Structure 1
Amino acid sequence: MSEKYDLRKVLDEIKAIPGQYHETDKEIDPDADLAGVYRYIGAGGTVQRPTQEGPTMMFNNVKGFPDSRVLIGLQASRKRVGLILHHDYKTLGQMLNEAVSQPVKPVEVTKAEAPAQEVVHLATDTGFDIRKLLAAPTNTSVDAGPYITMGVVYGHSPNGEQEDVTIHRMVLEDKDTIGMYIMPGGRHIGAFLKEYEAQNKPMPITINIGLDPAITIGATFEPPTTPLGYNELQVAGALRQQPVDVVKGVAVDAKAIARAEWVIEAEILPNTKMQEDINTNTGFAMPEFPGYNGTANPAVNVVKIKAVTHRKDHPIVQTTIGPSEEHVSMAGIPTEASILSLVDRAIPGKVKNVYNAPAGGGKLMTIMQIHKDDEADEGIQRQAALLAFSAFKELKTVILVDEDVDIFDWNDVMWTINTRFQADRDIMVLEGMRNHPLDPSELPEYDPARIRVRGMSSKLVLDGTVPYTMKDKFKRASFKEMTNWQDYLK
């Protein structure tokens, strides 16, 4: 069998590609400084300007954590994700769509086969303090505390018949306590937790950090593409054509990802909540994907740590900046796959590709490339937009373009809106729908007449497709195809 995929194998591959990886031995403070530095180097996305797309960075000298390293921005470039998954970055959504339908189940291995359990710290050990053990960064000076932003939570239903993985924001609150925000609705770990709470039992989980990106991208699928009980580790298995290794926890009745860098074994306490920013009282949580500081939640779930395990050799804490391009990759590419899955079933052949652009943080906006065969297809593009909203309830804006438009080139998309669009006929507005509560324009005080509760939104369709009968009026200027054009750069 080929070498097993994990974060270290992926890093070895991208180190060989110029411009994709950089590491530094200069000391960095994880409290605001680390994210502050990477903001300039490679964060991208909706991060405060100036920012840019750049290499992933490994910080080898983290203040206060001599035995640990911090990696940031591994997926903060769609092109780099393509290199990591060995696939054309423009059709990653299609690749993930196929992976969901061809799942490869994880396999259980022994502790001896699990690098993630080479070192074990029990919460009962004298002096145990997660805040001194795990180099979790604080992204800004007003964050509620150090956050685990790239931790894959792995849990199962009380009867053990269903299991799943999801990603949540998690703040280190005390030496053995984590505050976990589980967004209402849609997240499978939250559905399992309700079953435990009905029995007043704690829910055993593992929090897995430092993973092959095939796992972190696959873990962000949501219903209806992956229904309750569909373990998204099967997506990673399909992407790699290699099952993900899992292992029994050392202190809780839950499985861990065997080739992770770090694993936190814990229990979510039943029917118990705490203030997210209890240590800072700033009113803020951490920067979230829309580009704003998330509001601290007054009642996050309480997670009690039972053990921490990790690799021997300078284990890597993988982290991200909430509004960065990395979130666009993790949330956006699976959403593209979900949209493609639904439209392919309903109107096959009419949507050629979709792209969830950074301007929407990977969640709020999609650009759809439409194919029309004849005049009878007129209007099919708007039905495609409605299907996209059905596939992903957090989607807010859909832009429809023709096949000759590069959906990954923002100037090309805006050219469409300027030359193939009239505002009085090509805008659709759908009022009173659900969206994402982290969008600050969806507060009731923004529009009291239409937004009754936080997270309601009007949804927008911009139809930049050319009427089929007028295609001859919208032909782009055509240039001679030159196969030897690169010779003139030598």
Structure 2
Amino acid sequence: MSAHIIERIHSQDPRSKAFGLRGWLDRLAATNRLTVMRPGVGLVHELAAAAKRLDGTTATLFPRPDGHPGSVVSGLVSDRAWMAEALGVSGDALIAHVRKAADAPLPWREITNAPAQEVVHRGPIDLTRLLPIPTHNEHDSGPYISAGLTIARDPETGVQNVSIHRCQINGPDRIGILLLPRHTDHFYRKAEAKGESLEIALVIGVDPATLLASQAIVPVGQDELEIAGALRGEPLEVVRCLTNGVRVPARAEIVIEGRLLPRVREAEGPFGEFPQYYGERADRHVIQVDAVTHRLRPIFHTIVGGGLEHLLLGAIPREATILASLQRNFPGVQDVHLSLGGVGRYHLVVKLRKTQHGEAKNVLLGAFAAHYDIKHAVVVDTDVDIHNAREVEWAVATRFQADRDLVVIGDSQCSKLDPSTADGLGAKWGIDATIPVDAPEMKFKRIRVPGEDSVDLDRLVDPGASWRTAIG
């Protein structure tokens, strides 16, 4: 069977309503949302510059960058509507779909022969020779894997966790990784306490559903690959790594197998992060690479730090989780939105059907408890479009008084990547921009011109008229 036929079989899955990676690229190309660059674009800065210039307009594919035999893609899901389309749902159903998948995950299905292992490289490994790894920002300390799914297994239970961490190439077979205090770090501490390595895999180039699932905010012990299956509408096929027990998506483009070394730290950073500042240089954890496997003609996915793809992948799963958390305690909460101006993590807007005095303030406290990244939150009424920054600002301007409606909480756990905090310790504020429940009807009645939404402008406009002729 030819390599071309093998590739087509492995990139198509008619049972799922969601797109695979290569099928999604076909879809983007067919709808003029994929720009293919000329071969030879520079891996240092030039590739990221082109991807960032087209961010949110088209995805970008870079064949043979810097003469490397591989290809790089960026901007796969740099629009909220694209993500919904890639999952096979409507835009207004996206958050509900993500929430449902997190609540009802599908166990994955293990297979033995997988596209992700069509080509196998064992030692000696030279990552930059095998893979076209870009350098993005001006002061980044070197090439980074920025869109790799980090998959680790709990050394006690075997349950997996999937996340994305920045990964710096420290040497031919050595990777520096920033672990924040979340689930992978929890697994690592268990292994390190016994003086053992933690088995790990970095998976590069997956379908949009699996990419989004990796960012789900779920309790430790829940495997995000099962959420990916629920998002796709069928169990995700996985395959066991060749050098350890980690299970990885069977149709991934590239898999780097390795171990997080115990009691070893090496310098990592700086690196351009989602807040659009550099994450500082410090001694970080280290992965020793044992093997690299990949598909025929693999596609290396890279995410440019602080771009729309980066922000949306963080925002959408958090919105689903925060909405579920708030609705458990406040049935009047109808929707939430993490704004891009707040880097998809720090600024939250909540739509509330308020029935009680003080309810909005309780919702603010619940929002801060839902995720420590939330720094500023605004609660508005149901007549405000929370996805429209101008409408939210209008609600604050006309329904908020600082001495009455402002909540400030100091010395709170915040994001360590927010440079205004003291290593993650900072303040939060919340704004109640809702109408008092006992306000007279006309005091906050929004003005409206009858027919403004339904008037037939085509019937009224004279497209060929001169204004001088028109006035007689």
Q: Could you state the TM-score of these two structures normalised by the residue count of structure 2?
A: 0.90
- Residue in structure 2 matched with residue 38 of structure 1 by the alignment: 51
Q: Does 1:22 align with 2:35?
A: yes
* Percentage of matched positions with identical amino acids: 33
Q: Does 1:109 align with 2:111?
A: yes
Q: Give CA deviations for 1:213-267 in whole Å, capped at 9, x if unaligned.
A: 2112111123xxx111100111111111111111011222322211111110111
CA distance in 2, matches of 1:173, 1:423: 50
- Residue in structure 1 matched with residue 236 of structure 2 by the alignment: 244
- Residue in structure 1 matched with residue 336 of structure 2 by the alignment: 354
Residue identity in the other structure for 2:340: P
Corresponding residue to 1:457 among 400, 422, 426: 426
- Residue in structure 2 matched with residue 322 of structure 1 by the alignment: 305
CA distance in 1, matches of 2:177, 2:456: 54
CA contact (8 A) 2:40 2:67 kept: no
- Residue in structure 2 matched with residue 451 of structure 1 by the alignment: none
CA distance in 1, matches of 2:154, 2:193: 12
Q: Does 1:70 align with 2:65?
A: no
Deviation at 1:206, TM superposition (A): 1.1
CA distance in 2, matches of 1:59, 1:483: 46
- Residue in structure 2 matched with residue 480 of structure 1 by the alignment: 451
Deviation at 1:64, TM superposition (A): 3.4
Change (3 A) 1:98 1:472: farther
Q: Give CA deviations for 1:139-166 in whole Å, capped at 9, x if unaligned.
A: 1232111111111111212234321111
Higher deviation after alignment, 230-239 or 423-432:
423-432
Residue identity in the other structure for 1:473: K
Q: Give CA deviations for 1:335-363 in whole Å, capped at 9, x if unaligned.
A: 11111111111112x11110111112111
Name the SS of the counterpart of 2:274 in structure 1.
coil
Q: Give runs of aligned pairs for residues 177-216 of structure 1, distance below 5 A.
A: 177-183=174-180, 185=181, 187-216=182-211
Q: Give CA deviations for 1:34-80 in whole Å, capped at 9, x if unaligned.
A: 112222221xxxxxxxxxx3211111231131x21111111221121
Change (3 A) 1:174 1:417: same
Change (3 A) 1:133 1:361: same
- Residue in structure 2 matched with residue 450 of structure 1 by the alignment: none
Q: Give runs of aligned pairs for residues 293-312 of structure 1, distance below 5 A.
A: 293-297=278-282, 299-312=283-296
Corresponding residue to 2:27 among 13, 38, 43: 13
Q: Aligned pairs, how many? A: 445
Q: Could you state the TM-score of these two structures normalised by the residue count of structure 1?
A: 0.87
Residue identity in the other structure for 2:14: S
Larger-Rg structure:
2
Q: Does 1:149 align with 2:140?
A: no
CA contact (8 A) 2:39 2:67 kept: no
CA distance in 1, matches of 2:206, 2:445: 46
Deviation at 1:370, TM superposition (A): 0.9
Deviation at 1:481, TM superposition (A): 6.2
- Residue in structure 1 matched with residue 277 of structure 2 by the alignment: 292
Deviation at 1:269, TM superposition (A): 0.7
Q: Give CA deviations for 1:451-474 in whole Å, capped at 9, x if unaligned.
A: xxx211110112211112225322
- Residue in structure 1 matched with residue 346 of structure 2 by the alignment: 364
Name the SS of the counterpart of 1:359 in structure 2.
coil
- Residue in structure 2 matched with residue 428 of structure 1 by the alignment: 407
CA contact (8 A) 2:323 2:336 kept: yes
Deviation at 1:179, TM superposition (A): 0.4
CA distance in 1, matches of 2:228, 2:246: 19
Deviation at 1:85, TM superposition (A): 1.8
- Structure 1 segments, 4+ long, off by >4 Å, are 481-490
CA distance in 2, matches of 1:331, 1:9: 23
Residue ranges of structure 1 left out of the alignment (5+ in a row): 43-52, 277-283, 444-453
